[in-house]
Chain A
Amino acid sequence: MNIWRLVRKEIGYRRLNFAQAMLGVLVATAGLVGPMTVLRAYSIRAENRLHTMEDDYRKQTLKYGFNVRVIPAGQDRGDFFEKGYATRTMDQAYAQKLADSKILTTIRHLTPTLRRKVLWTEHKRKVLLVGSHGETPLKERAHRKKAIIKIIPEGEIDLGYDLWSSLGLKAKQEVVFLGRKFTLRRCQPEQGSEDDISIWMDLQAAQELTGQVGKINEIQAVDCRCAMADAEKIRTELSEILPNTQVILKVKMAVARAKARLTAQQVRVAELKDKQALAAVTAAFLIVGAAVWISLLAFGNVRQRTMEIGILRAIGLSGRRILSVFLVRSLLIGLVGAVAGVVLGGCLGAGVAVAWGEVTEFSQVGALFSPLLFGLVVLCSPVLSAVVSWPPAILAARQDPAVVLSRE
């Protein structure tokens, strides 16, 4: 005979009391696990959507190329928009200073550029010369993004559609530009923009050809989605790093739409956090209710067993043993109730998630069950049950057998 057998037999004898207490634990744990499972489904779906939209937005942004243009502070915007480039210049070192900044978070793909409209004297054509030596790598960016423009090797040029098509030029052909020989690397497709009359070449060559050595008139960049960058944020950050510049943002409708969708999804994810908090508060109320319920039932159980406790004390069971009888019982209530609650709550939660369309494939159901949550619930419930049963158990252990047996 041992305590475990005594507890087991008592539970079998007073099934109703045990079942009522266990039901309390079951309701509390199912009340916690069920909503958490539904919210987990909601969360997984929302996160997936968010990632998809972030990716869409990134692609949209890259598709439309650079959307941030950093130009000299004193540049008149009217001239800038009329000519399509800044007439003022700034030091090429600005780009490096920006790339080396420890506080830069809002933009990436920094590309120092020199743009100038010049006369292609050999063909008597006005062209837009674009000099670039590719992206300046960011010093502080742990995961640098893949460059979105390719470096044009020294001695080579790319030509816009109007130029190569009207002059009958082909790739790999030798071209003379302002007295310097270049190899035509690529003939760009028609864009319907100033790109069609553009010549792209290495920055240094462009600087030398225009007499602007060490100068640029623009740093092209892309705003950084991961930092939730907006115009105000970008301007604030750049004014700290490069005070002698100003920022011009290009907004495309498709990008704006993608950004709106992304923002809406981010709001949805934020709302999810509110729902999780509400579920946690509800579960907390259920747990407190269950704790009170279990404690009352344990008091009832002790009261019902007064004489039994008296006789067990008389035949030699110590107060500590009596305490363990009641604590083992409450641990069992917590354990059995928690396991049943986790199974019931998990199944109900998954069912609701499927019914609400948060889960569309059977293979996704497994991801709804959080082993950490289930483990914590199954571990904490018996402990909580034992804690709330502690006062009645102490009462039982401290019962004076002489007083009990004198009532005979």
Chain B
Amino acid sequence: MADLRSEFVGIKSPNPFWLASAPPTDKEYNVRRAFEAGWGGVVWKTLGEEGPPVVNVNGPRYGAIYGADRRLLGLNNIELITDRPLQTNLREIKAVKRDYPDRAVVVSLMVPCEEAAWKTILPLVEETGADGVELNFGCPHGMSERGMGSAVGQVPEYIEMVTRWCKQYTRMPVIVKLTPNISDIRKPAEAAHAGGADAVSLINTINSITSVNLDLFAPEPMIDTKGAHGGYCGPAVKPIALSMVSEIARNPVTANLPISGIGGVTTWRDAAEFIALGAGNVQVCTAAMTYGFKVVEEMISGLGQWMDEKGHESVASVVGRAVPNCSDWQNLNLNYVAKARINQDDCIKCGRCFAACEDTSHQAITMSADRTFEVIDDECVACNLCVNVCPVENCITMERIEPGQMDERTGKVVEADFADWTTHPNNPGTCAAE
């Protein structure tokens, strides 16, 4: 099988699947079980500074969003950083790393935005033999109210400052974990880069309320009739995370900055997608919290099968392969013309494509008395909505109209040349491509 070994900022692991800093990595018991299950590495749940540990709520910490059949699609949490004593965690990290030298053990940290606090904790972590640290500038709840977590991650200057301190006070690789609760993800990444970060990891969780209790008029998860926004994660956030990862990978300033991809990785395919968009490895939490540690077995076998089938010899050879194809709208080929095609053998005659197209799109699908659905090429703009709402995979496809053939909608012959908005006659011109 393909070689799944991974090296991320010099940290080696037998596969690119790490458990993210979160409840699954809060203690030795869990992490040992995770390693036995096959995980390549962990980012230990965030440690705070020495002293009385943080406390957690004693009611629900999690809220969820479901798909059909109660499949968990999104999870939010209001749990804080580790609520166990610092020394306990350090002792356990040391023991685990000693027993699993081939696995990655990175320690997540969150201490006040003061140089002394970082200078104090870094040697303690270094002493455990851990492979690196991850700076938690992402947690959007609780700790951010105290000036930590995403409160730091939302101010690029702070990111740069703290990153610089960490690089100054430790020889360990420094990974900066970014919050998505910001308008332009490139800025904090650039700040981390400027501060000397070895890598960034993203995304941390997204501000969220999963639902509202309509009897008590309180947000969920609810503690004694009150709720606070939590951090949203799981399959539902993957598209947001993929986009943010791609933006950092595309940004010339951070193009060579390693990225640890996080956000809804549930299957091998999710991981491959993050890696293709520039992530050197991936971190997983919600999938493990939903299905248990064993879920990594499918990720390993699936990624290996895909790499074998495609002839990719190593994970590194795939990293960033989709980045050159991440473009801007103005550079998309307007001479590319497609039409929807419905495979009548696969069609189960539910009519969802018709409802979607007739009511909300371009009235480009006909429905006969015997429930046969067909595309009207005169009207189809190839928007893809019918494909997206069809319950049968590959029943409706988008087929390219080859150059030289007629586009029945426009009455024009499809041209072979590339032509985008920057050269389009309707473009007022002032916004033409530079």
Partners in one complex: no
Residues of B that sit less than 8 Å from A by CB: none
Residues of A that sit less than 8 Å from B by CB: none
